[in-house]
Amino acid sequence: MGTIIETNNLRAYYITKAYGVERTVKAVDDITLRIQEGEVYGIAGESGCGKSTLLRILLGAYQPPLTVVDGEVVYHFDGEAINAADMTEEQQRDLRWRTISYIPQGSMHVLNPVRRIRDTFHDFISAHRDVTKKESFQLTADYLRDLGLPEKVMASYPHQLSGGMRQRVTIALATILWPKLIFADEPTTALDVVVQRGVIQMLKDVQQKEGSTLVLITHDIGVHANLADRIGILYAGKLVEEADTKTILENPRHPYTRYLIESLPSLDSREERLAIPGRPPALDRPPSGCRFHERCPLAMDICKTDEPKLIQIEPGHFSACHVVEEEISRDGHSVYA
Amino acid sequence: MTVTASMPDSESAPLLEIDDLSKIFHIRQGFASQEFHAVDNASFVIDSDKPEIFAVVGESGSGKTTLAKMILGMESASQGILRYKNRVVNDLSRKEMKTWFYHEVQPVFQDPFAAFSPLKRIDSYLYETAQNYKMVENKKETPRYINEVLSAVGLTLAEIAGRYPNELSGGQAQRVAIARALITHPSLIVADEPVSMLDASLRMSIVNMFRKLKEDNKVSVIYITHDLATAYYTGDRIAVMLRGWIVEMGPTEQVLGNPLHPYTQNLKSSIPSIRSSEAWEEKIDLAVIEADEYTRTGCKFAGRCPAVMDICHDNVPPSIMHEGRSVKCFLYDDAVDAEKKRMLTPATG
């Protein structure tokens, strides 16, 4: 299994100029990712940390003011390396939905309200393949049956379906052409737990059936825990920690990750849990040094001035934190208790 | 669970008394009209001497918001009685609503950015509420009063003065929304999904605040949410709603600690656990079309229930008191043959 998509020192800024005032929002700053074929890669972080911007760059669907100022995004399909920035419009059209697919945020609202579900599917399929209406209905019916969606859905209008069912129909629509690489942006946010579980189940089914790669963006660690193989934690446009799901949940090292996980309420105890103090920094003037130092309980002097590098602390586990770095150099190989 | 005894006035009267409350909408399909019970015979009481957080949970389209709107007097009840401090809310005059009821009962809504106009400075809402409800004698006193209220939600007037909603974070804006509700010194706050628009990290700060308001300001809160974890964390009592019915209601620790209704069990087991070892094994069914479940005769959960019996399809289950909570399910009805019941093992955890 090789890498299917990689980014190298990617920097993407929103550059605006209004009334002579230039403003640069550093939404994605120096991010290097290697996403493997067939894995579910989770991207987590608070709102405003650059999750959705990163996704837009990975998809190659961005316009000014969002600009890639440095680095690159490279896809690897069938042994061929494609640089996202060099693609012609035709190439993009060719890849999109067939090879790369996208489940947008709030996707239960994307269905055309005046067309039956089967007609929406036909529109979609016929834009990419030469099919008759009968063939595309058959294809849709088979696919929906495979995913455990009831027959009734085909002839319904979107408003007749429940929110969770609409969400699942949209996921089916985005994946019916068996894309190799699927991006999902907050696919379960604003859904209640039962529906959320149904949607997670379905994403898992879709991903496992063809062994496609799923890049999952959500702030909900609980969803990542149930779906992702590896998790990258984003804070203020930077990747601060990356490891496999089990390690992130059981042995998080970066203070921000630890906050994220410890602040989650659960049905195990009703003890008071503390929220993360402060709020994420504005990205047009990010703090100096480590971007988390203003909210960090362990901040040292060096954190205010020097930016920590993303270093490997154990095989496959990366963290960008001076405190962690110091612990490791002190104990050789420390175990966080 | 009906409360029929007439209540003596003022002091010992409950804060909020809901008795067989229903809201019926009519769906027209061609010439035929169908009744649609968005809230169906809800009954519960909130005491006035002991402030509490009463959580109402359920999936989207379970009637939670309609219930909240009725409590707030924004929607009239079709059947049943809703009394606040022994006064029937539906019968209050417009003037009484304004001079008395909204002093006592205040709302907090889901999206703070939709609750505030983007073109108005956010502190103007606080000034207006304070002046409209005559909370201060002297206009000059208003800023001091507002500052006092804001301190209850961990903000100062200096932080938000002159700022527009878009300049605040979601958590801050929601705090201002709660501060606005607190200006009239209410006894009851109805919060409809106050944290579902917020990040998990900010949720805790809002939810902790409700706990603090209950302790320090003696405010009761009806906390409406689909997030079971925060409901468990804050709620003293909980009501689980399904398609207009309250299917299980009682002390939070009992209801969520050991859920009895198959629907509550389903809800509990659907909370994603952060321990990856507890991934779900079995699959669940979702409702296809909401209206189908609403108009179902018999138990509304029968189509998805893993313990469904024949009786469930045609008969409405009674609310039964069982192990300290009320549960609307034939499984706990002694009149139903024990052999037919396939008791589910409650979810572990």
Nearest chain B alpha carbon to A148: B285
Amino acid residing at B263: Y
Report CA torsion sign: A156, A157, A161, A164: positive
Locus of tokens 């100022």: A69
Question: Which range in A3-12, A156-165, B131-140 is most confidently predicted, on average pLDDT?
Answer: A3-12
Mean pLDDT of A155-175: 85
Of A168, A201, A221, the CB nearest to B200: A221
Cβ of B289 within 8 Å of Cβ of A162? The answer is: yes
Q: Residue B7: is it exposed, middle or buried by C-beta count within 10 angstroms (0-12/13-18/19+)?
A: middle
Q: Is residue A76 within 8 Å of A3, Cβ to Cβ?
A: yes
Interface test with B, best of A194, A235, A284 (most B CBs within 10 A): A194
Q: Is residue B248 within 8 Å of B44, Cβ to Cβ?
A: no
Confidence of residue B279 (pLDDT cuts 50, 70, 90): low
How far apart are the C-alpha atoms of B8 and A324, rounded to whole Å? Answer: 65
Nearest chain B alpha carbon to A224: B274
Which residues are registered as beta bridge partners of A34? Answer: A6
Q: Give A 119-158 residues with CB within 8 A of chain B.
A: 148, 150, 152-153, 156
Q: Which residues of B touch A246 (CB under 8 A)?
A: 276
Question: Which range in A19-23, A84-88, B186-190 is most confidently predicted, on average pLDDT?
Answer: B186-190
Q: Which residues of B touch A264 (CB under 8 A)?
A: 200, 229, 274
Over 50: is that where the pLDDT of B349 sits? no
The CA distances from residue A46 to A49, A174, A278, A281, B199, in Å, are 6, 26, 12, 11, 6
Confidence of residue A326 (pLDDT cuts 50, 70, 90): confident
Amino acid residing at B281: E
Q: Which residues of A touch B171 (CB under 8 A)?
A: 279
- What residues contact residue A24 under an 8 Å CB cut-off, 6+ apart? A13, A14, A15, A284
pLDDT digits (tens, 9 = 90+) for B204-222: 888 888 998 899 889 999 9
A105-137 residues labelled b (16+ CB within 10 A) or e (exposed): bebbebbeeeebbbbbbbebbeeeeeeeeeebb
Nearest chain A alpha carbon to B287: A162
Mean pLDDT of B42-71: 89
Amino acid residing at B168: L
Per-residue pLDDT at B282:
65
Q: Which of B55, B96, B97 has its CA nearest to residue B73?
A: B97
Cβ of B286 within 8 Å of Cβ of A168? The answer is: yes
Q: Which residues of B touch A225 (CB under 8 A)?
A: 272-276
pLDDT digits (tens, 9 = 90+) for A218-231: 888 888 988 899 99
Which residues are registered as beta bridge partners of B26? Answer: B35
Interface test with A, best of B57, B160, B169, B199 (most A CBs within 10 A): B199
Mean pLDDT of A105-133: 87
How far apart are the C-alpha atoms of B298 and B314, rounded to whole Å? Answer: 4
Cβ of A192 within 8 Å of Cβ of B58? The answer is: yes
Give the Cβ contact number of residue A294 at 10 Å.
16
Over 70: is that where the pLDDT of A175 sits? yes
A268: contact with B, CB 8 A cutoff: yes
Domains of chain A with bracketed CATH: 3-99+179-280 (3.40.50.300), 111-178 (no CATH)
A190: contact with B, CB 8 A cutoff: yes
pLDDT digits (tens, 9 = 90+) for B71-124: 998 888 899 999 999 899 888 998 999 889 999 999 998 888 888 999 999 999
Ordered strands of the A100-103 beta sheet: A100-103, A181-185, A213-217, A40-44, A230-235, A238-244, A317-319, A311-314
A260: contact with B, CB 8 A cutoff: yes
Nearest chain A alpha carbon to B62: A192
Predicted ipTM of the assembly = 0.72
Per-residue pLDDT at A273:
76
Instruction: Identify the H or E element spanning B291.
Output: helix B290-294
- The structure tokens listed for B238 are 């909980």
Confidence of residue B281 (pLDDT cuts 50, 70, 90): low
Confidence of residue B4 (pLDDT cuts 50, 70, 90): very low
Report CA torsion sign: A119, A120, A125, A128: positive
Work out the angle at residue A273's Cα, subtended by the Cα atoms of residues A267 and A275, and round it to the nearest 5 degrees.
125
Q: Is residue B275 within 8 Å of A225, Cβ to Cβ?
A: yes
How far apart are the C-alpha atoms of B252 and B271, rounded to whole Å? Answer: 16
How far apart are the C-alpha atoms of B342 and B281, rounded to whole Å? Answer: 20
Confidence of residue A150 (pLDDT cuts 50, 70, 90): confident
Q: Is residue A297 within 8 Å of A256, Cβ to Cβ?
A: no
A312: contact with B, CB 8 A cutoff: no
Over 70: is that where the pLDDT of B265 sits? yes
Q: Strands A40-44, B87-88: parallel, antiparallel or unpaired by DSSP? A: unpaired
How far apart are the C-alpha atoms of B259 and B255, rounded to whole Å? Answer: 5
In three-state secondary structure terms, B139 is helix
Confidence of residue A276 (pLDDT cuts 50, 70, 90): confident
How far apart are the C-alpha atoms of B48 and B42, rounded to whole Å? Answer: 19
Mean pLDDT of B125-133: 90
Interface test with A, best of B288, B294, B301, B304 (most A CBs within 10 A): B288
What letter does residue A242 receive in the DSSP assignment? E
Of A148, A195, A249, the CB nearest to B276: A249
Average pLDDT, chain B: 84
Over 50: is that where the pLDDT of A336 sits? no
